[in-house]
């Protein structure tokens, strides 16, 4: 969809921008002619004020316009009403020749076209004309105007192939910049979307209070854990943890303090967890630690360390100190009796229940 959008954008931009540039170049040529008429009028005024003779005024006007080239090959030419070429800067050998009966390579009588359009108030004429230093004729358009006082035809033109080439490279460079900006915009959007998708994914698998993984993450990670379990001599283990009498903590000390307890327990779990261990808030005051352990005793040691550190923490509520304890159940994944890792977690939960019934604040395996 992005590629289709880019192609459609480039085609639309090329068409609209090239049309706009073509109109601008034509308008520019017309403005040049208006400026040339202003120059001629200036010298004509000097003639009328008798500061210059007619011949002197015309000679100075022709000299000024003959030297007034622009762009790569832009120039002005002047014909008199009889078809005589008065100035032709790039082909001075044509000056003085009569072009009344000249026809271009298509058979069009150029001067007659110039004369007709100019006397109508100015206009465009299409024809073919040689380029500088070549005898080959190329399609060209010229805007011509008439200066009645001296009966002159003044014109300036554009070679169509040069104009199209200029427009092509102008459009190409401009569209290239816009396309680059568009690609940067698309890339930025993709990065932003990817970031927010990642954030949403994190929100869906991270508990907002403790920043531990959620029960949903356990379902996502289980297949990978089982595959890795086949490749290692360590044992995939589930440690199910539940805080003892947590409801009474909320009732006696308030839910804010209850949240502090949950955060602290989560912090202790993360600090003791090693590489490839995953700490999760299973729900409410229940936690699960999943990981690979060398043997059953190393998993029990982990659970006992967490249990002991939690029991050592002193919480304060309105100058009243309180502490919490936890119970834990440990189960190692067994391919013979566990058809899924969910069964391993269930067995760890059953061991947790045994710890609860045995008096709490202990680990059962």
SS3 content of the chain, % helix, strand, coil (to 5): 55, 20, 25
Residues contacting 238, CB < 8 A, separation 6+: 288, 289, 290, 330, 331, 333, 341, 344, 345, 347, 348
Any catalytic annotation for residue 285?
yes
Residue 9 has pLDDT above 70, yes or no: no
Share of the chain above pLDDT 90, in %: 52
Residues contacting 150, CB < 8 A, separation 6+: 40, 44, 58
Q: Give the separation between CA 306 and CA 298, rounded to whole angstroms.
A: 13
pLDDT of residue 14: 66
Residue 98 has pLDDT above 80, yes or no: yes
Q: What is the pLDDT of residues 274-329, one digit of tens each?
A: 988 999 999 899 999 999 999 999 999 999 999 999 999 999 988 889 999 999 99
Helices 2-48 + 160-205 axis angle, to 10: 140
Mean pLDDT within 111-139: 87
Tell me which H or E stretch contains 269.
helix 255-272
What region does 290 belong to: left with phi over 0, alpha with psi -120 to 50, or beta? beta
CA atoms within 13 A on the CB side of 19: 5
pTM over 0.85: no
Q: Give the separation between CA 156 and CA 143, rounded to whole angstroms.
A: 6
Other CB atoms within a 10 A radius of the CB of residue 251 amount to 11
Q: Give the separation between CA 122 and CA 141, rounded to whole angstroms.
A: 13
pLDDT of residue 337: 87
CB 253 within 8 Å of CB 322? yes
Dihedral angle at the C-alpha atoms of 307, 288, 251, 364, nearest 10 degrees? -50
Residue 252 has pLDDT above 80, yes or no: yes
pLDDT of residue 200: 66
Residues contacting 95, CB < 8 A, separation 6+: 85, 86, 87, 88
Residues contacting 220, CB < 8 A, separation 6+: 205
Q: What is the pLDDT of residues 192-243, one digit of tens each?
A: 888 877 766 666 688 889 999 998 888 888 999 988 888 888 999 999 999 9
- In order of their start, the domains of the chain are 2-166 (3.30.450.20), 213-364 (3.30.70.270)
Alpha-helix residue ranges (DSSP H) falling in 69-148: 110-119
| Active-site pick, 113, 220, 285, 354 | 285
CB 288 within 8 Å of CB 282? yes
pLDDT of residue 298: 95
pLDDT of residue 17: 63
pLDDT of residue 203: 61
CB 138 within 8 Å of CB 124? no
Tell me which H or E stretch contains 218.
helix 215-229
């Amino acid at each position: 969809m992005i590629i289709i959008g880019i192609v459609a954008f480039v085609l639309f931009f090329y068409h609209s921008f090239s049309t706009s540039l073509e109109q601008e170049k034509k308008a520019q040529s017309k403005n040049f002619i208006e400026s040339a008429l202003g120059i001629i009028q200036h010298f004509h005024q000097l003639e009328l004020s008798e500061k210059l003779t007619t011949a002197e005024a015309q000679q100075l006007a022709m000299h000024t316009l003959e030297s007034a080239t622009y762009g790569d090959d832009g120039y002005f030419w002047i014909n008199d009403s009889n078809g005589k070429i008065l100035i032709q800067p790039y082909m001075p050998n044509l000056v003085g020749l009569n072009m009344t009966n000249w026809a271009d390579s298509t058979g069009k009588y150029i001067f007659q076209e110039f004369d007709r359009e100019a006397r109508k108030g100015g206009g465009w004429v299409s024809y073919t004309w040689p380029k500088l230093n070549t005898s080959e004729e190329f399609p060209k358009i010229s805007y011509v105007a008439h200066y009645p006082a001296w009966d002159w035809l003044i014109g300036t033109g554009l070679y169509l192939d040069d104009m199209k080439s200029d427009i092509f490279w102008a459009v190409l460079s401009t569209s290239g910049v816009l396309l680059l900006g568009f690609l940067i915009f698309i890339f930025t959007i993709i990065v932003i979307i990817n970031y927010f998708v990642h954030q949403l994914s994190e929100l869906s698998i991270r508990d907002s209070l403790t920043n531990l993984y959620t029960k949903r993450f356990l379902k996502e990670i289980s297949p990978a854990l089982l595959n890795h379990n086949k490749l290692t001599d360590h044992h995939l283990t589930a440690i199910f943890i539940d805080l003892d009498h947590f409801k009474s903590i909320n009732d006696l000390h308030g839910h804010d303090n209850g949240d502090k307890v949950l955060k602290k327990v989560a912090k202790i779990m993360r600090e003791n967890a090693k590489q490839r261990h995953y700490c999760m808030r299973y729900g409410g005051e229940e936690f699960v630690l999943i990981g690979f352990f060398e043997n059953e005793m190393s998993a029990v040691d982990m659970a006992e360390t967490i249990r002991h550190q939690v029991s050592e923490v002193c919480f304060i509520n309105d100058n009243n100190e309180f502490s919490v304890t936890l119970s834990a159940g440990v189960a190692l994944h067994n391919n013979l009796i566990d058809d899924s890792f969910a069964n391993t977690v269930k067995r760890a939960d059953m061991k947790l229940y045994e710890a609860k019934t045995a008096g709490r604040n202990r680990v059962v395996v």
